[in-house]
Amino acid sequence: MRRLVLVTLTLALTSCAATTDYAVYKHPVTGDVMECELLHSGWLGSNVPTGRSAGPYADCKTQLEERGYQQVGTVERKRQATSPEEARIPRPALRQPQ
């Protein structure tokens, strides 16, 4: 029983620190670097895109591509967006992919 409680607690804590993927875009003229977040479920530490993630990600991607940005890579780190509406908004990249 004690082991079951420990495993359950570990899995629950893992889901709190869920990571997600960010597509990184760079503007070829200005050099500005922006990113779009792909929402993942985060349930029990899983990193599976949700059905709700495709629309916001596509909206974010389209906004950047229409302004001339080109995708230069992806990074994985802790999720920032708390809703699909938040994920629709391109934001400055915290770091550039190597």
pLDDT computed for residue 94 by the predictor: 81
What is the reported pTM?
0.69
Q: How far apart are CA 5 and CA 31, in angstroms?
A: 50
Assign 6 a pLDDT band (cuts: 50, 70, 90): very low
How many domains is the chain partitioned into structurally?
1
pLDDT at residue 13 is higher than 60: no
Domain range for 77 is 2-92
pLDDT computed for residue 18 by the predictor: 75
The answer to whether residue 56 is domain-embedded is: yes
42, 40, 41, 37: which is closest to 22 by C-alpha? 37
pLDDT at residue 8 is higher than 60: no
Tokens, residue 95: 């770091």
The answer to whether residue 97 is domain-embedded is: no
The answer to whether residue 98 is domain-embedded is: no
Q: pLDDT tens digits for 60-76?
A: 999 999 999 999 999 99
